[in-house]
């Protein structure tokens, strides 16, 4: 195979690559590829990703996600619903924004109606891990007593 000298699309350094491996974008090393992808996806998430468009309210994002979930039911296809945003669970990000601070290590987010997919701010409550466990254990024992 013939090697061809081409420039790296990230840093501009000239490097050798087999002719049959040359693609639309080429990189001299993994570090350059990672930098390129980081810049590309940061731009995508800030500008093009409809879920993160500037000026879009949380309610509008929920409506978009609900439409995608409903489309999954209608069409029967696997539709991604963006339950994580940039690696952070959606309910934690929403509560962090609502509170205006980072969550403490012992804090968890409780879904008031019990539906984990309902991440509307009005349905979320911050609790300590022990209070959250206590709450769910009370519910569990109440149901056990009702079924006896």
d(CA 120, CA 97): 12
What mean pLDDT is reported for the chain?
81
Contacts 24+ apart (CB under 8 A), 57-66: 58/94, 58/97, 58/120, 58/121, 59/120, 62/119, 62/120
Residue 148 and residue 91 share a domain: yes
Residue 38 and residue 8 share a domain: yes
* pLDDT tens for each residue of 28-43: 999 998 888 888 777 7
Residue 55 and residue 21 share a domain: no
Q: What mean pLDDT comes out for the span 101-130?
A: 89
**Nearest C-alpha neighbor of 83 from the set 92, 74, 70, 71:** 92
pLDDT score for 50: 63
Q: What mean pLDDT comes out for the span 40-60?
A: 69
What tokens were used for 58?
A: 């949380």
Residue 68 and residue 33 share a domain: no
The pLDDT-based confidence of 107 (bands split at 50, 70, 90) is very high
Residue 78 has pLDDT above 70, yes or no: no
Q: How far is CA 91 from CA 15, 96, 98, 121, in A?
A: 46, 9, 10, 8
* % pLDDT > 70, the chain: 77
**Residue range(s) defining the domain that contains residue 11:** 3-47
- Range scoring the smallest mean pLDDT among 69-78, 102-111, 126-135: 69-78
pLDDT score for 128: 93
Residue 90 and residue 30 share a domain: no
What tokens were used for 38?
A: 């980081």
Residue 98 and residue 75 share a domain: no
d(CA 57, CA 143): 38
Residue 141 and residue 89 share a domain: yes
């Amino acid at each position: 195979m013939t090697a061809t000298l081409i420039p790296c699309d990230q840093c501009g350094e000239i490097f050798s690559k087999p002719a049959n491996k040359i693609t639309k974008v080429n990189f001299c090393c993994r570090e350059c590829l990672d930098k390129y992808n980081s810049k590309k996806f940061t731009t995508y998430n800030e500008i093009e990703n409809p879920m993160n468009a500037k000026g879009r309210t949380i309610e509008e994002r929920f409506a978009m996600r609900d439409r995608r979930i409903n489309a999954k039911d209608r069409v029967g296809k696997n539709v991604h619903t963006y339950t994580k945003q940039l690696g952070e669970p959606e309910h934690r990000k929403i509560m962090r924004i609502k509170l205006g601070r980072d969550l403490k290590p012992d804090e968890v987010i409780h879904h008031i109606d019990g539906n984990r997919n309902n991440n509307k701010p009005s349905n979320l409550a911050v609790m300590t891990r022990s209070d959250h466990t206590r709450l769910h254990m009370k519910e569990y024992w109440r149901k056990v007593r009702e079924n006896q």
